């Protein structure tokens, strides 16, 4: 399916849709998420909204109940359960869902009005099991959120490419639309999985279903605002990716699964290995000269003044390490190309948050991701139990 | 089971593009390595001329005993030697980086090693003629396999050089980089059996020594104590 096919699809009928918001302690964002659903450009009698309160300890259930009271003309139901995790919450809703299509919407995400209008027409045949919107960070305020904004924009371009090869390996929480019957047929969400959205995508791929990635409509999600939150989120994602790829290892390098088995599955695993190698290499070569010099200074009683007072500039262009420069320049050219393509495809402006932010993203963000991957492998080795 | 699409054409294109980038890198490497050898070759020619000039100056001094010209000529020697050392270090780096023109750099390393020896001999002769109060230090090092502490020793010597300036002439010989008979002669002459080893006016100091050992030892060699030695010299 080419880009134009995706762009020109028009909704001709309005099938019944179930939209599910699994929520655990989401009192701050739930109302905004629900309001974005109620504002959908789709007949209100043609969808139901199921809010699953996963044993929240805050006022999430109360807010949900208030929303139901405030909007009596909409079909909104609150399903309460003991805290069992997102997978169980989704399954609880899936068992009760009336819709032909089942939508998962994280309680910290906001959907565009035209989402269903744009997405439903892509269920062209029975092989299409899920359709995904473009995902972006909602109103990034601090530097960390802005860095994630860049990451999401570039990821969207990557996911579009993967979509063209039918290689999408994750159906994220923010407004992934599934065919309800297919989800039931393949056995519901895995309730014990730390990344149930990734697991269900791999399961759909293992059953040779198609997952369609769109660049329009947009769904906005709130990104973690602190390093600790971001680390925890990414640790769970990367760990989930690793464990699920291993769970579905039968697809690895298996030609029967086409590009997905031959390219995407190994890429998910390899990305972790490459991230760790890059992280360790950057750390080693970045810190080595400083550590060495401090160590050497112990032999001269830490008297560094002569090196400063008698410093001589002795450098020619030929002294540059051309291998490093060539690799860096090649990577820079490829990165700029990808960023430019991402900019165009997501209809965003990459300099929106300034040159400094994008520079930090390009030069340093990978170090953070590398550190997360190191943590993931460490956790896997010591068999640390993952909290959702 | 239904077989899914495998985009072989895409993988072939990706492989061709990757090979193209790799070959471009290789080509660039060849161009830069050749530029580096040409640069060092040119530098060597200049330094060869500088050496001949210094040699001629001392022969002239020796013949006419015009010792009032000694300081100026000594300064020339010092500058040439400093320039030589910078190039020697640069060649070592280039040689480590080199992948295609390794042999060319090894030859250059040998040439520079011999140049160090020539300058050392000249400095010794000059010292006799001009009666100049300087200390010459020979530093023997090897590769990391044979000498785990050579980098540390080199750092200490750099520190001393910065402190003592032209009062200290250091001649560095990396015994592992080239197979040079002259080095074998020096090793035998000074009984060098391990690395790092330092020779200060015929006295051998084997193994790594920090500044607390080397500075007093070098400072004691001067007839007139340089300012930088004040803190290091034994008060007695």
> Which CATH superfamily, name and number, covers A3-225?
Spore Coat Polysaccharide Biosynthesis Protein SpsA; Chain A (3.90.550.10)
Q: Do A300 and B5 touch (CB under 8 A)?
A: no
Contact status of A318 with chain B (Cβ, < 8 Å): yes
pLDDT exceeds 60 at position A7: no
Q: How confident is the model at residue A1 (pLDDT cuts 50, 70, 90)?
A: very low
A64 vs A385, more confident: A64
pLDDT tens digits, residue range A315-350?
Answer: 788 888 888 888 889 999 999 999 999 999 999 998
Contact residues on chain B for A310, CB-CB shorter than 8 A: 162, 165
Query: Order of strands, edge to edge, in the sheet holding B197-200?
Result: B168-174, B135-141, B197-200, B203-206
CA-to-CA dists, residue B175 to B28, B94, B124, B144, B192, angstroms: 31, 17, 21, 12, 10
Q: Map out the domains of chain A as residue ranges.
A: 3-225
For chain B, which ranges sit under pLDDT 70?
Answer: 1-2, 64-66, 177-178, 234-236
Q: Do B6 and A299 touch (CB under 8 A)?
A: no
Q: Which CATH architecture has domain B16-132?
A: Up-down Bundle (1.20)
pLDDT of residue B236: 47
DSSP codes of every residue in A267-311: HHHHHHHHHHHHHHHHHHHHHHHHHHHHHHHGGGTT--HHHHHT-
Q: Which of B138, B123, B112 is nearest to B45 (CA)?
A: B112
How far apart are the two ends of chain B, measured CA to CA in Å?
A: 95
CA distance B61 to chain A (A): 31
pLDDT tens digits, residue range A258-299?
Answer: 999 999 999 999 999 999 999 999 999 999 999 999 999 999
Q: Do B4 and A310 touch (CB under 8 A)?
A: no
Within this chain, domains B16-132 and B133-236 share the same CATH topology: no
Contact residues on chain A for B11, CB-CB shorter than 8 A: 263
| Residues contacting A378, CB < 8 A, separation 6+ | none
Q: Map out the domains of chain B as residue ranges.
A: 16-132, 133-236
Closest partner residue to B3 among A256, A307, A309, by Cβ?
Answer: A256
The Cα A127–Cα B5 span in angstroms is 14
The CATH class of the B133-236 domain is: alpha beta
pLDDT of residue B23: 93
| Residues contacting B39, CB < 8 A, separation 6+ | A316, A318
pLDDT tens digits, residue range A17-60?
Answer: 999 999 999 999 999 999 999 999 999 999 999 999 999 999 99
pLDDT of residue B177: 67
A75 vs B4, more confident: A75
pLDDT tens digits, residue range B2-35?
Answer: 678 899 999 999 999 999 999 998 898 888 888 8
Q: Do B211 and A255 touch (CB under 8 A)?
A: no
DSSP code of residue A100: S
pLDDT tens digits, residue range A77-89?
Answer: 999 999 999 999 9
Closest partner residue to B159 among A260, A263, A300, by Cβ?
Answer: A300
Query: ipTM of this predicted complex?
Result: 0.81
Q: Which percentage of chain A shows pLDDT scores above 70?
A: 97
Contact residues on chain B for A318, CB-CB shorter than 8 A: 32, 35-36, 39, 94
pLDDT tens digits, residue range A183-198?
Answer: 999 999 999 999 999 9
Q: Do A166 and B5 touch (CB under 8 A)?
A: yes
pLDDT of residue B212: 93
Closest partner residue to B211 among A299, A309, A322, by Cβ?
Answer: A299
Q: Do A322 and B28 touch (CB under 8 A)?
A: yes
Structure tokens at A243: 């464990």
pLDDT of residue B71: 79
């Amino acid at each position: 399916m080419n880009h134009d096919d995706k762009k020109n699809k028009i909704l001709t009928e309005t099938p019944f849709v179930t939209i599910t918001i699994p929520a655990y302690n989401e009192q701050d964002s739930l109302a905004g998420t629900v309001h974005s659903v109620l504002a959908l450009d789709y007949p209100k009698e043609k969808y139901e909204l199921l809010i699953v309160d996963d044993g929240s300890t805050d006022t999430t259930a109360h807010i949900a109940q208030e929303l139901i009271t405030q909007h009596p003309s909409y079909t909104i139901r609150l399903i309460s359960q003991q805290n069992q995790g997102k997978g169980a919450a989704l399954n609880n809703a899936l068992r009760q869902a009336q819709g032909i299509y089942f939508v998962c919407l994280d309680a910290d995400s906001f959907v565009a009005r035209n989402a269903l209008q744009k997405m439903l027409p892509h269920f062209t045949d029975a092989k299409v099991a899920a359709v995904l919107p473009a995902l972006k960070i909602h109103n990034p305020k601090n530097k960390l959120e802005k860095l994630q904004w860049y990451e999401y924009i570039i990821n969207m371009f990557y996911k579009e490419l993967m979509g063209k090869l039918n290689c999408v390996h994750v159906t994220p929480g923010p407004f992934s639309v599934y065919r309800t019957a297919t989800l039931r047929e393949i056995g519901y969400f895995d309730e014990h999985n730390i990344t149930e959205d990734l697991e269900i995508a791999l399961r759909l791929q293992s059953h040779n279903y198609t997952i369609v990635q769109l660049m329009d409509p947009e769904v906005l999600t709130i990104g973690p605002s602190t390093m600790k939150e971001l680390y925890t989120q990414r640790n769970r994602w990367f760990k989930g990716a690793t464990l699920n790829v291993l769970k579905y290892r039968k697809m690895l390098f298996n030609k029967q699964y086409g590009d997905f088995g031959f390219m995407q599955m190994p890429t998910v695993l390899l990305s972790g290995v490459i991230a760790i190698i890059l992280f360790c290499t950057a750390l080693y070569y970045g810190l080595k000269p400083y550590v060495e010099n401090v160590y050497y200074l112990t032999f001269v009683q830490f008297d560094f003044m002569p090196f400063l007072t008698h410093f001589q500039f002795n450098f020619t262009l030929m002294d540059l390490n051309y291998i490093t420069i060539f690799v860096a320049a090649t990577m820079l050219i490829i990165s700029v190309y990808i960023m430019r393509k991402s900019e165009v495809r997501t209809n965003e402006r990459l300099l929106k948050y300034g040159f400094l932010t994008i520079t930090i993203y390009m030069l340093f963000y990978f170090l953070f991701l590398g550190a997360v991957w190191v943590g993931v492998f460490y956790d896997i080795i010591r068999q640390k139990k993952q909290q959702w | 089971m239904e077989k899914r699409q495998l985009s072989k054409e895409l993988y072939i294109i990706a492989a061709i593009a990757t090979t193209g980038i790799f070959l471009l890198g290789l080509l660039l490497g060849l161009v830069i390595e050749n530029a580096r050898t040409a640069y060092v070759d040119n530098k060597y020619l200049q330094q060869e001329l500088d050496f001949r000039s210094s040699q001629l100056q001392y022969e002239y001094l020796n013949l006419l005993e015009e010792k009032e010209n000694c300081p100026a000529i000594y300064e020339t020697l010092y500058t040439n030697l400093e320039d030589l050392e910078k190039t020697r270090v640069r060649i070592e780096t280039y040689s480590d980086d080199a992948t295609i023109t390794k042999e060319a750099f090894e030859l250059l390393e040998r040439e520079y090693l011999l140049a160090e020896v020539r300058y050392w001999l000249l400095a010794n002769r000059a010292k006799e003629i001009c009666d100049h109060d300087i200390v010459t230090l020979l530093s023997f090092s090897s590769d990391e396999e044979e000498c785990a502490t050579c980098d540390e020793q080199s750092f200490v010597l750099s520190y001393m050089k910065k402190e003592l300036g032209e009062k200290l002439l250091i001649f560095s010989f990396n015994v592992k980089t080239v197979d040079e008979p002259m080095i074998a002669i020096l090793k035998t002459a000074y009984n060098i059996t391990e690395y790092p080893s330092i020779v200060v006016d015929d006295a051998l100091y084997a193994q790594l020594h920090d500044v607390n050992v080397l500075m007093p030892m070098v400072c004691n060699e001067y007839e007139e104590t340089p300012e930088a030695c004040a803190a290091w010299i034994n008060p007695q």
